[in-house]
Chains A and B, each alone.
Chain A
Amino acid sequence: MTHLAQFAQQFDQIFVLAKHWLLGYVPAGAQPLCSAVLSVAPIIIVFPLLFAITTLLERKGLGRIQNRYGPNRVGPFGMLQPIADGVKLLSKEDIVPITADHAVHFLAPLLLVSASFMDYAVLPIGRNMVIVNLNAGVLFFFAVGSLMELAVFMAGWSSRSKYTLLGAMRAIAQMISYEVPLVLASIVVIMQAGSLSTVSIVNMQATYSGIWPHWFVFTPWGFAGFVLFMVAATAESNRSPFDLPEGESEIIAGYYTEYSGFKFALFFMGEYIGMFATSGMAITLFLGGWSAPFSFLTWIPSYFWFFAKLLALIAVFIWVRGTLPRLRMDQLMNLAWEFMLPMTLLNLLTAGIWHFMPAGPSRWLVCSTMVAVPCILLSRGLKHKKKFQVHTYHYSE
């Protein structure tokens, strides 16, 4: 039994051990650089591969949701479709509009991709598997994540086209609005964990009482926080139903209307990589990171659990995309400022009360009511305020 446990542990640490073994062959002077390369390279390989798989899964899943087959021609069951897509995008002509700001137009996709990759620096994708254990990891994550907004606006502004500018304006309005509930929703976890380090947040959740894990999602404030975080994350990654910045049917493709070929592929990839990163953050904060869902499943490697949870969240993203139509701009803003923001603030209060009340059913009852009642009241209020009237635009006249 101990042998088995030891073997499981070694299997869990296989990548960490491999890295140490490889570093043993490197002269001491080059070790920091080689260590960095060995940590970063797998991220840069694995997540774009996951992106390729996700595009296929998304197209197949959306197809099934719409009672179609989805791509099934390239390779068995269409499994080579991402390769065909890649070849197509790479062989396309790279068009830069003649009036565009060439330097900014060129830099925008690069910034987007590098910003979305930098998010992974603080994501623990397994036990001892994190690039840097910053003691302000969560803060770093959100700071780097807001760079994506800059990239989007650079793209929209530099293309010098009305559609890209409209898309960029929408993107900025949306991303800034949803950044607030996104960060506020994650603060409850920081309050509870007492740390900004992603590693210690996961370590706190990787303990069990009986067979049940101590994931933050299994508390009233954690559940509310998780839902709010996921809604805000959907808006942050510009995915349906919050895909107004792209809005194919109204503003063509929003801020990347003027991008083609490889640069478009970079944008496409950057968006998905960013989505994986925010999903990874949701997993780290609320779903116990790399920890197993039951104590008797801890022998399965930690990185497996991380990617299983990530794929589950991606499936939810695809499912939501296949279900919901795009919101209108005012609905989007109302949701952010009139529902999400009050809910996240109340959630902060709930988490504080949870912390100071003695453990037991009374704590559960009080905190659940504190989450559920405002949610019902707020949504009722939103519903009742709906009036049908002729819109007059005061500022345009």
Chain B
Amino acid sequence: MVGEGILKGMAETARNFFGSFVSKDRLTTVQYPEEREPRIEAARDFPFLVYDGADWQQGMRCVACQICEKECPPKCIFIEKSKDKKPDANGKPQFYPAVFNIDISVCMSCQICVEVCPFDAIKMDVDYDLSTDDRFGGLLLNKQRLSKSNDYYRRIHPTEAAEVDARLAGERARQEAKAKAATEARLTATAVQPASGEPR
């Protein structure tokens, strides 16, 4: 009969209507500024610069090699290499970026900068509250706004960060071992040197 399906549908919508007042589980809406969904680990939007330790200028991993700048497809990264060298987090003197800007209005979130970085210095962020009333200055992120600590990285991408940390620690240990071996070799060389004379 005409109207049977209509009545069934009407009953369903009525159940939804009253049910949404009774049980909050029915409501799929997240009241955005006040409540937020937990951030998804696999999410990524814009790049940021990782620093070790507490001081963002001291611990910056970036050595201004400019690979990301060259690889960036929409050319949204701008780097100016420093003239001098500063000790990095490991105390090793390195170049550092005097200027590091990313225009996130141009960035297409492709993650290529992250893929090519040999120093694990640039990673993808999950922060989405980036709207601003200044569409030029507000979307051109400078070095300070881009710098985020390794702790933050561990918090937003735990699995990925653990892997990176392990790799970096391994590399550091290997380099330390190499340095140690080198110094030992030099020490033995200096010990042996007087007997063999100057190598010419």
Interface residues of A (CB under 8 A from B): 61, 64-69, 319-320, 322-324, 339, 375-376, 378-380, 382-383
How distant is B38 from chain A, measured CB to nearest CB, in Å?
Answer: 21
Query: A61 vs B14: C-alpha distance in the bound complex, in angstroms?
Result: 10
Residues of B within 8 A of A375 (CB): 1-2
Interchain CA distance A323-B7 in the complex, whole Å: 9
Chain B residues within 8 Å of A, Cβ to Cβ: 1-3, 6, 9-10, 12-14, 16-17, 19-21, 26-29, 31
With A and B bound together, what is the CA distance between A143 and B12 in angstroms? 38
A37 to B27, CA, bound (A): 48
Residue in contact with B9 in the complex, picked from A69, A323, A379, CB distance below 8 Å? A323
Q: Are A323 and B10 in contact (CB under 8 A)?
A: yes
A382 to B19, CA, bound (A): 35
User: Are B1 and A67 neighbours in the complex by a CB distance under 8 Å?
Assistant: no
Distance A375 CA – B1 CA, assembled complex (angstroms): 8
Q: How far is the CA of A323 from the CA of B6 in the complex (A)?
A: 8
Task: Say what secondary structure dominates the interface of chain B.
Answer: helix
Which one of A61, A324, A379 lies within 8 Å of B17 (CB-CB)? Answer: A61
Pick from B2, B3, B21: contact of A64, CB under 8 Å: B21
Most chain B C-beta atoms within 10 Å of own C-beta, residue among A66, A319, A383: A66
Residues of A within 8 A of B21 (CB): 64
A376 CA to B1 CA, complexed, in Å: 6
Given contacts A64-B20, A324-B6, 16 further A-B contacts (CB under 8 A): A61-B17, A64-B16, A64-B21, A65-B16, A67-B16, A68-B20, A69-B29, A69-B31, A319-B10, A322-B13, A323-B6, A323-B9, A323-B10, A324-B9, A379-B1, A379-B3
Docked CA distance A47–B6 (Å)? 30
- Residues from chain B with Cβ under 8 Å of A69 in the complex: 27, 29, 31
Say yes or no: B17 contacts A64, CB within 8 Å: yes
Q: Which of B3, B10, B14, B26 contacts A67 (CB 8 A)?
A: B26
A379 and B13 CA atoms in complex are apart in Å by: 24
Q: A380 touching B1 by the CB < 8 A rule? A: yes
Q: Which residues of A contact B17 (CB under 8 A)?
A: 61, 64-65, 319, 322
CB distance from B198 to the nearest CB of A (A): 84
Please provide the 7 A-B residue pairs with the shortest distance between their CB atoms, ordered closest to farther: A379-B2, A323-B13, A323-B9, A65-B13, A64-B17, A64-B20, A67-B26
Offer 23 A-B interface pairs, CB within 8 angstroms, sorted by A: A64-B16, A64-B17, A64-B20, A64-B21, A65-B13, A65-B16, A67-B19, A67-B20, A68-B20, A68-B27, A68-B28, A69-B27, A69-B29, A319-B10, A319-B13, A320-B10, A322-B17, A323-B6, A323-B9, A323-B12, A323-B13, A376-B1, A378-B2
Chain A residues whose CB sits within 8 angstroms of the CB of B27 once the complex forms: 67-69
Which of A68, A382, A383 sits near B29, CB closer than 8 Å?
A68
Closest beta carbon of chain B to A193's beta carbon, Å: 28
Q: Which of A67, A322, A379 has the most CB of B within 10 A?
A: A67
List chain B residues, Cβ under 8 A from A64.
16-17, 20-21
Residue of A nearest to B27 (CB): A67
User: For residue B26, which residue of chain A has the nearest CB?
Assistant: A67
Please, which residue of chain B has its CB at the minimum distance from the CB of A378? B2
Q: Which residues of A contact B29 (CB under 8 A)?
A: 68-69
Q: How far is the CB of A363 from chain B (nearest CB, A)?
A: 24
